[in-house]
Amino acid sequence: MFYEFAIIGTTASGKSDLAIKVARELNGVILSLDSLCLYKEINIASAKPSSNELALVKHFGIDIASPNDEFCVGDFIAEYKQALAYAKNLDIPLIITGGSGFYLKAMLSGLAPKTKPIKIDISDDEIWNLAVKIDSEFCSKFSKNDKFRLHKWYQIYTQTSAIPSQWLRDNTSQPVIKNLPIFELVWDKIELIERIKIRTKNMLQNGLIDEAEYLFKHYNNSLKPLNSIGLKECKEYLNGKINLNELENLIIIHTTQLAKRQRTFNKGFDSIKLDGKNLDLSVILTQIKSLNSIN
């Protein structure tokens, strides 16, 4: 029987492991939401499912691009449509999982038109002061320290001469997905940090530095995926700027900061909370089946 739902959570929360267990029980297929797993050759740094795990359950959204390929949310939506068609054709569940909440939000809220990148000649404080004057809606939702959204706001403003929040409402496409049940894996902060520490040690033991060295030899070091957490710290290590202990500590710190941002972002979803420490697969399966029988 076809239905779809999502399993989200912060990095190192165990969402991929849970999704695989659920998919095996339901004979389902998985669409990875992870913005790094989609790249070939980035295996350890992305915490990509192992080849054995990938053999157990069919995955979409994994190993579909080269590190030097341009990849945007529109490309991800195209991958979602392929996964959707596959699941519908076989009449099996589609499980959407991963940490890139931006992709999920874009599918649930609609996709805004692209604007061209521009050179920004004013400071972030000046952009924020302008936003305060003309777009209180934006300022109520985002922080002045959110550099990405602040620059995106200014990019829209300079190219459209409209109030960006209003312009986005008027020009955003219809949602790709509606009424999607979302389950969120949650952990106590201290316990999650311990999980991050263990995963970081395992990544280093499994060859993270060798993977980074290979990637830096074969691709431009300035590429966005090669400056993700795990790889950017390895670059500093390989350049002799930090030692091995500093490398491990930096990855842990940066991953913990990412988890905090993801936790905040995920508050925007109407989700059913799952206690990561006390998971009961049979209970989760019952919840999934009951929700989808209603939908």
Q: Binding site for ATP: which residues?
A: 9-16
Q: At what angle do helices 15-26 and 281-294 cross, to 10 degrees?
A: 70
Other CB atoms within 10 A of residue 162 CB:
15
Strand ranges in 82-235 using DSSP code E only, listed in sequence order: 94-97, 182-186
Q: Binding site: which residues?
A: 9-16
Instruction: Say if residues 134 and 164 touch (Cβ distance below 8 Å).
Output: no
Half-sphere exposure of 23 (CA within 13 A, CB side): 27
* Structure-token pair, residue 189: 């902060």
Strands of the 4-9 sheet, one edge to the other: 59-60, 29-32, 94-97, 4-9, 182-186, 272-275
Instruction: Say if residues 284 and 22 touch (Cβ distance below 8 Å).
Output: yes
Instruction: Say if residues 173 and 103 touch (Cβ distance below 8 Å).
Output: no
DSSP secondary structure code for residue 179 in this structure: S
Half-sphere exposure of 166 (CA within 13 A, CB side): 9
Q: Binding site for substrate: which residues?
A: 11-16
Cα 175 vs. chain centroid, distance in angstroms?
18
Query: If you write DSSP's letter for every residue of 42-62 in order, what string do you get?
Result: --TTTTPPPHHHHHHS-EESS
